[in-house]
Amino acid sequence: MNKTFIIAEAGVNHNGNIDIAKKLVDAAVEAGVDAIKFQSFKAGNLVTKSAKKAEYQKETTGNGNQFEMLKKLELSYKEHIILKKYCEEKGIMFISTPFDFESADLLEKLNIPLYKISSGDLTNIPLLKYIAKFNKPMIVSTGMANLGEVEIAVNAIKEGGNDKITLLHCTSNYPTACEDVNLNAILTLKNAFKLPVGYSDHTIGIEIPIGAVAMGTKVIEKHFTLDKNMEGPDHRASLEPNELKEMVKNIRNIEKAFGNGIKICNKNEESTKAIARKSIVAAKDIEIGEEISYKNITFKRPENGLSPIYTEKIIGKKAIVFIEKDGTITFENVK
């Protein structure tokens, strides 16, 4: 099985501070993820100045509007360059989500290897087509969407000349309750679009993304932070570094457990098999010439004689040697 591509979503958990952003890179490297993802935007291109905050944002950043909040979380072009270079030095893939045309151009100048599309832009068809023309893989989150909207987005990307699409099932609630996750929608997306499907998680903890991997997802995205108690919109619904590392370890263990699908006795089961399986044995002393029946045989460990699978083949035969109680019955001592 191919490895699950694990994205550590730093998002805006750097709080607009390049030094915190670098520490997030370090934590992602230590956790063993495949990529770290940031968010690229200009607040003035992303929201109107009157746009209200979501309820979860109010809880962690107070009142005010989205514009004021997001303005503090912007990364400059120079900071993008610094971060990408730092990721390259640390041996981790740098990716980011562009929220507007200007940010998409910025990321293309940086020659990022793929584009991540946010759930909020699934219906932003002009942006999807614009990014599609870069002809790089696109990972598209589908939070808040119905199947028809996902189909429109997929078709738009393909019309832009790009078929390198991975869809991420997602529930855009921060945090997401387990009963709202709907992991079976992963199968719905797979069946509907015949595309690789992953999962972007906003639940508390690591169980749900691990479950998604067990369902065959190819990409996992999970928010993380240095400290859940930091001020900012997304920290509380994020993993801390030790939790991220534990998630990665568990996902890699799940991948090992998939195996090749061939149902055979594993070589490491052989010693157990010899002890746990049973043989056909004499339930009492069996005299020469005595007929073998269910009255004088039984089935006991270990497997050092004839398997009970062959019981019907010896019933009715006669012993040609004396078989003491608990002695194994074989094709050689009956006729």
Point out the domain boundary residue: 258, 289, 313.
258
Q: What pLDDT shows up at residue 67?
A: 85
* The predicted structure's pLDDT at residue 233: 82
Residues of the chain with pLDDT below 50 are none
Same domain (yes/no): 253, 286: no
One domain, residues 210 and 329: no
Tens digit of each residue's pLDDT (9 = 90 or more) over 11-62 = 999 999 999 999 999 999 999 999 999 999 998 888 888 787 666 666 666 6
Q: Residue 315 maps to which CATH number?
A: 3.90.1210.10
How much is the pLDDT for 58? 62
Phi/psi at 134 (5° precision): -70, -15
- At residue 69, the pLDDT reads 80
Cα gap 223→8, rounded to integer Å: 6
Same domain membership, residue 67 and residue 190: yes
Specify the number of domains making up the chain: 2
CB 281 within 8 A of CB 298: yes
pLDDT (tens digit, 9 = 90+) per residue, 142-170?
A: 999 999 999 999 999 999 999 999 999 99
Rg of the chain taking only CA atoms, in angstroms: 30
Q: Where are the alpha helices (DSSP H) in the chain?
A: 18-31, 43-46, 55-61, 66-71, 77-90, 101-109, 125-132, 147-159, 184-193, 207-214, 241-258, 270-276, 311-314
Residue that is last in its domain, among 208, 239, 258: 258
| 187/327 same-domain check | no
The CATH number linked to 227 is: 3.20.20.70
| Unique residue bearing structure tokens 């043989």 | 279
Question: What is the reported pLDDT for 63?
Answer: 64
Co-location of 276 and 252 in the same domain: no
152 and 116 share one domain: yes
Looking at the fold, whether 234 and 273 belong to one and the same domain comes out as no
What pLDDT, on a 0 to 100 scale, did the predictor assign at position 99?
Answer: 97
Residues 303 and 238 in one domain: no
Question: Which residue, of 202, 235, 258, is where some domain finishes?
Answer: 258
**Residues 189 and 77 placed together within one structural domain of the fold:** yes
Please give the pLDDT value at position 53.
60
Q: What are the residues whose beta carbons fall under 8 Å from the beta carbon of 311, sequence distance 6 or more?
A: 280, 297
Q: Residues 175, 221: one domain?
A: yes
pLDDT at 232: 83
- The range of the structural domain enclosing residue 323 comes to 264-335
The tokens 């607040």 sit on which residue? 43
- Tell me, yes or no, whether 180 and 272 share the same domain: no
Q: Are residues 229 and 287 in the same domain?
A: no
| Dihedral angle of Cα 147, 151, 152, 156, to the nearest 10 degrees | 150
